[in-house]
Amino acid sequence: MIKQKITDTNLLTHLDSIEKDSTEIFLLNKGTIRGSVLHGTKMINQMRVNHNLGILETLTLGQSYMGAGLMTSMVKGNDRISFAIECGGSIKGLSVEASADGKVRGYLFANPIPITEPVESFNLSPFFGPGFLSVTKYLESSKQPFTGQVMLQHGRIAKDLANYFLESEQIKTAFVLSVYFDKEGRSLGAGGLFLQALPGADDKALELLEESALKMPSLGKYFASGGSVHELIDNSFKDFSPEIIGDKQISFNCGCSKERFTSFIASMDKADKNEILENGPFPLITTCHNCGTDYEFSKKGLQAIFSN
């Protein structure tokens, strides 16, 4: 992956002044509820510049990145988890993936998202429309990935992810996903919260936790103002005896490379290779959908690849 440079000096100064991106995983209420809090401001801004996103696109894909990042609290080692949305609205859909070590990547099916009138709120529901959400877990301990699917019920990523776990896995879950923009459209803060019932969880405790989550400050604004993940957990859930059990870095990261695209091109059919050499265009540009990186191949370079 090639990370594009963020050129907005005001934004760079701000990013240097706030806490580093991270995720902390914790238990509440005597180990009966699992949670994680994610700070992803730098991740969202790197995602934005690599994919060349506007505000609406940054909000949509940014919430998705954080949702996938929060779900890594359920996987370990070399495990991965992903979710995809296919829908009838102007967003068309999206696909994101996160590995257990906190690397997140993914893309929108439509960029830019077509709009017919000015966007007046951050309610994404009208842009999704009817559709499906699927979650896939790639576990080292399993020979095949596990995928579950539900219909979109809300058109809001946080609520639809929570609904997935309730319908598909019968687990009570809550998500909070927040991206804060300033008047100039800069993404100054981004954060998310994940809470999930474990065996033995008390329904009353879950209700109280949901009330506590609703009273929390806007996570985007909180992290934009320099807030820390650890303090947020301590202050918001002090009545539930929080126990930190892990932490990890979170980042926009893709394992693509020019070498991988070279291998793909080399494996093409002979007819397709001849078509490229005869008609171009040159340089041939291949793009990784997951991170927006372009890799260029000259005619001379392609001839060498094909001859080998």
120-163 pLDDT per residue, tens: 788 999 999 999 999 999 999 888 999 999 999 999 999 999 99
Residue with tokens 């598909």: 168
Residue 70 CA to residue 150 CA, distance in Å, equals: 19
Residue 68 CA to residue 245 CA, distance in Å, equals: 19
Determine the pLDDT at residue 262: 95
Residue 200 CA to residue 172 CA, distance in Å, equals: 12
Contact 229, 74 (CB under 8 A): no
Residue 30 CA to residue 24 CA, distance in Å, equals: 17
Q: Which segments in the chain show pLDDT lower than 50? A: none
Architecture of the CATH domain 9-252: 3-Layer(bab) Sandwich (3.55)
Determine the pLDDT at residue 217: 83
The token pair that represents 102 in the structure block: 């906190």
The token pair that represents 251 in the structure block: 């980042």
Determine the pLDDT at residue 146: 94
CATH 1.20.1250.20 fits 258-307, yes or no: no
Determine the pLDDT at residue 297: 95
| Range(s) within the chain of domains with CATH label 3.90.1280.10 | 258-307
Those residues with Cβ within 8 angstroms of residue 257's Cβ, 6 or more apart along the chain or in another chain? 1
Determine the pLDDT at residue 180: 97
Q: How many CB atoms lie within 10 A of CB 282?
A: 15
Q: Would you state the torsion angle of the CA atoms of residues 149, 151, 157, 159, taken in this order, to the nearest 10 degrees?
A: -100
Residue 264 CA to residue 302 CA, distance in Å, equals: 12
Contact 26, 68 (CB under 8 A): no
The neighbouring-strand residues paired with 252 are 104
| Range(s) within the chain of domains with CATH label 3.55.30.10 | 9-252
Q: Which of 122, 69, 118 is nearest to 249 (CA)?
A: 69
- pTM higher than 0.75, yes or no? yes
SS3 state of residue 254: coil
Contact 206, 33 (CB under 8 A): yes
Indicate the helix (H) or strand (E) that contains 41.
helix 41-51
Determine the pLDDT at residue 267: 93
Query: Terminus-to-terminus CA distance in the chain, angstroms?
Result: 25
The token pair that represents 295 in the structure block: 């890799």
% helix, strand, coil for the chain, step of 5: 35, 30, 35
Residue 202 CA to residue 223 CA, distance in Å, equals: 30
Determine the pLDDT at residue 121: 80
- Report the DSSP pairing between strands 93-99 and 173-181: unpaired
